[in-house]
Chains A and B, each alone.
Chain A
Amino acid sequence: MKLRKAGTAAAAAVVLALTATACGGGSDSGDDEKITVGIKFDQPGLGLKTPDGDYTGFDVDVATYVAKELGYDEKDIEWKEAPSAERENLISRGDVDFIVASYSITDERKEKVSFAGPYFLAHQDLLIRADETSIKEAGDLNSKKLCSVTGSTSAQNVKNELAPKADLDEQGGYSQCLTGLENKVVDALTTDDAILAGYAAQDEHKGKFKLAGLSLSDENYGIGLKKGDTELQKKINDALKKMVEDGSWDKAVKDNFGPAGYKNEPAPEITETS
């Protein structure tokens, strides 16, 4: 008797879990009404899911503008998380219509996806404590502790080319590096300056950190879309041009990176035409 009850409960648990899974997974990107856009969910300044369940950041603003030009209202946009390692997969399988997620245009990636844009020129840079004076160029890192996330390429760049003696500390996420930086256990955090500026611009971090202002590399952020979709590419490129012309681009940069004292590059020329 008791066993039968336990069995029923277990069966109910399975059914519940399965239906919950089905609901979570079943979003359809082929819908006429909606457009699905891939962004980052955990990068302040670029793409961030807020506690209200809204999305903010420069990438989000660009995506919203582009979607509007394509004929979709803000409420018709379905946001989907696009973790770095998943971006090519999401596009090639058609899970998203396009991706705006600090996605640098590289030849290697262009073999798998097409890009529109670029819409932003970022550089690899260092985030240091506001009172730090001993780091002026990359070579100064040789006697310093440098933090980055596990498997990131920007840390390897520094290590291999600019400061071979730098002590590289790999953490699970940028926030953990920020804690180390705040506690003076590490001396610098390296990745793209747009990402760093997003963190430095947060209310909680005002006056604590600054960008070193070294342009260690050029990262052209593009909008990723299905390989060979020249029609969408052209539409997005036109939308990006319009965004720069009517001043929305400048406004978006100011809104998202303003408080960081970040000297952004002017809007880049569109290069990705088929």
Chain B
Amino acid sequence: MFDFLDLERYDLLGAFWVTVQLTVYSAVGSLIWGTILAGMRVSPVPLMRGFGTAYVNIMRNTPLTVVLVAASLGLYQTLSVTLGGRDSDQIGFRLAVLGLVAYTATFVCEALRSGINTVPVGQAEAARALGLGFTQVLTLIVLPQAFRSVVAPLANVLIALTKNTTVAATIGVSEAALLMKEMIENESDVIFLVFSVFAFGFIVLTLPTGLLLGWVSKRVAVKR
């Protein structure tokens, strides 16, 4: 029944491994860039606030497909940014990570901002009374508490990111969706099986993430 799974011809595990790598690198990148963006949006410098707001509003109203094409066509084909990649495969992968980070960071930023709202005003006031500056208030007092209350929303962002890595197929990164497209065209008599295999693969990737982080969010939530 599973003859179509010719692993010599279709590198199924390899494709899903690329998906996992895309997810992990992009997740780390978006967490960092998203935190910086959130910092900008609450900072005392009006210009930075404006930049953060404009960036978030533009990015999340753009289709991810367009963001990735912009990375590939704009950054690489026009501005010759290779991100240190040696050949086209490597460059394509790194550009895809960059695009995913640029896009996903906006959701991380918004989640964090709502997390900052959950920190009681007294915390920031007490910190300021002790003489801490903005950066100190943010990094020592507010953000550590904000992070703990937004684990659940961030888990949803991570799951969405895992699914969004499939869009990298549009710029030719050989991850799961591109392989599925190829298999569905070649093995057209067993499309339901092919689809089931890939659906199962994504469920394996996303369900444990949701369950694990759901458990973590309950453990770390600040009791108030």
Interface range on chain A (Cβ under 8 Å from partner): 10 to 19
Q: Is B87 an interface residue (CB 8 A)?
A: yes
The residue from B77, B88, B182 contacting A179, defined by CB atoms under 8 A apart = B77
Q: Chain A residues near B213 (CB, 8 Å)?
A: none
A98 → chain B closest CB, angstroms = 24
The residue from B88, B92, B170 contacting A145, defined by CB atoms under 8 A apart = B88
* Known interface pairs A167-B88, A176-B73, A179-B73; A185-B80 also in contact (CB < 8 Å): yes
A176 and B88: CB pair below 8 A?
no
B87 and A167: CB pair below 8 A?
yes
Q: How many residues of B contact A (CB 8 A)?
A: 16
Look across to chain A and name the residue whose beta carbon is closest to the beta carbon of B82: A185
The residue from B69, B172, B185 contacting A85, defined by CB atoms under 8 A apart = B185
A183 and B69: CB pair below 8 A?
no
Please list the residues of chain A having a beta carbon within 8 angstroms of any beta carbon in chain B: 85, 145, 150-151, 167-172, 176, 179-180, 183, 185-186
Q: Chain B residues near A167 (CB, 8 Å)?
A: 87-88
Q: Chain A residues near B178 (CB, 8 Å)?
A: 150
Look across to chain B and name the residue whose beta carbon is closest to the beta carbon of A146: B88
7 residue pairs, one from A and one from B, having the closest CB atoms: A170-B172, A169-B88, A180-B77, A167-B87, A150-B172, A185-B77, A167-B88
Contacts between chains A and B (CB distance < 8 A), count: 39
Kindly state the separation between the CA atoms of A167 and B172 in the bound complex, as whole angstroms. Answer: 14
Q: Is B196 an interface residue (CB 8 A)?
A: no
Kindly state the separation between the CA atoms of A168 and B92 in the bound complex, as whole angstroms. Answer: 11
Q: Chain A residues near B182 (CB, 8 Å)?
A: 151
A171 and B78: CB pair below 8 A?
no
A172 and B171: CB pair below 8 A?
yes
A243 → chain B closest CB, angstroms = 35
Q: Is B72 an interface residue (CB 8 A)?
A: yes
Q: Chain A residues near B69 (CB, 8 Å)?
A: 172
Kindly state the separation between the CA atoms of A183 and B81 in the bound complex, as whole angstroms. Answer: 12
Q: Chain B residues near A180 (CB, 8 Å)?
A: 76-77
Kindly state the separation between the CA atoms of A149 and B140 in the bound complex, as whole angstroms. Answer: 50
Kindly state the separation between the CA atoms of A154 and B182 in the bound complex, as whole angstroms. Answer: 16
B88 and A168: CB pair below 8 A?
yes
Give 20 CB contacts A-B under 8 Å.
Answer: A85-B185, A150-B172, A150-B178, A167-B88, A168-B88, A169-B92, A169-B172, A170-B92, A171-B171, A172-B69, A172-B170, A172-B171, A172-B172, A176-B72, A176-B73, A176-B77, A179-B73, A179-B78, A180-B77, A183-B78
